[in-house]
Amino acid sequence: MTCRLCYSQNLVDYYRGPIRSGCVGSGEINGFAVKKCCDCNFVFLDPVPEGLDLFYESDEYRSRFDYAFDPEAIHNKYAHEQTARLYRIGVEHIRGRSLLDLGASAGVFIDVVRGYASRTVAVEPFTMYHEYLRSQGHDVFSYPQDAIESGVKVDIVTCFDVIEHIENPRDFISSAFKLLKPGGVFFLSMPNLDDLLLTIAPNKFKPFFFQVAHLNYFSSGVISLLVEGSGFKINSVDYIHKYGLDNLIRWVSESSTAPAAISGLFDRTFLDHYKAEVERLGIASHLFIVATKDKDISPTSS
């Protein structure tokens, strides 16, 4: 066995135990280990589940992780997450520019920006969503390589909660680089390996955090090296915390009634400060990377 990033064989167990088998409440599964490379610090699931491409192309993945997975249900479930993403990107940076979303799902983000962008492109392996995506005015491809071979070049590439699912993340980032015009911007977000719950409630949280669908686990340092190694210049490493204080209390408390007990105890200002401080300290649930493709890239290397 070798590291999927640097191919080193200098690996150790990072976690060995039950991991989540599907969506919240789906139960646990054994037979996997989470490995860490001692040379590049990359953390990854071992072994890689078989038949991943077919898994993501079928409805099995959606039924295991979303239960209801028609476009309306997906929008209802994930629409609230788009506000923080759009805020960090800025409408002014999207207006009049072409945008491609890697792992677009049912269009939960790309639908939000279609009125601002000059062109929107969805890359999504689950073909059930293709008809819907096209009906919303997006160009649609199943895989990044399909878009590359069609000559697609855009000003912005976005990728949210996708790279953790990808068996070869280096090739995936390289695809994003190829899809961007010189001077284009890449916005990338994924779960944070430095999530505060992995520190303060590791025994309870690890069997939930590590899951069969997530092959890769990134710290800010590892993802920055990966992105830079693909030719990008890192503009910023930021954080998004998706969950409130009640979620923290639920994980650390032995009482199932604790979250209800604090309901109404803290006002919106306090809860906003809690999220902001978790993000400032780099222990939020998600990383948010902004990177740029150099304007001086020669045609042969792009």
The pLDDT, as a whole number, for residue 218 is 98
Least confident of 46-60, 145-159, 176-190: 46-60
Burial (CB count within 10 angstroms: exposed 0-12, middle 13-18, buried 19+), residue 131: exposed
Alpha carbon distance 281, 200 (integer Å): 14
67-90 pLDDT tens trace:
567 899 899 989 999 999 999 999
87-107 pLDDT tens trace:
999 999 999 999 999 999 999
The pLDDT, as a whole number, for residue 253 is 84
What are the DSSP calls for the chain, one per residue?
---TTT----EEEEEES-EE-SSTTS-EE-S-EEEEETTT--EEEESPPS-HHHHHHSHHHHHHHTSS-SHHHHHHHHGGGHHHHHHHH-HHHHTTSEEEEET-TTTTTHHHHTTTSSEEEEE-S-GGGHHHHHHTT-EEESSHHHHHHTT--EEEEEEES-GGG-S-HHHHHHHHHHHEEEEEEEEEEEEBTT-HHHHHSHHHHHHHHSBTT--EEB-HHHHHHHHHHTT-EEEEEEEE----HHHHHHHH-S-TTHHHHTTTTS-HHHHHHHHHHHHHTT-SSEEEEEEE--TT--GGG-
The pLDDT, as a whole number, for residue 21 is 87
What is the rounded average pLDDT of the residues 36-65?
Answer: 80
What is the rounded average pLDDT of the residues 111-116?
Answer: 96
Q: Are 291 and 180 within 8 A, CB to CB?
A: no
Comparison of pLDDT for 14 and 246, the residue scoring more:
14
Band the pLDDT of 125: cuts 50, 70, 90: very high
Q: Are 12 and 46 within 8 A, CB to CB?
A: no
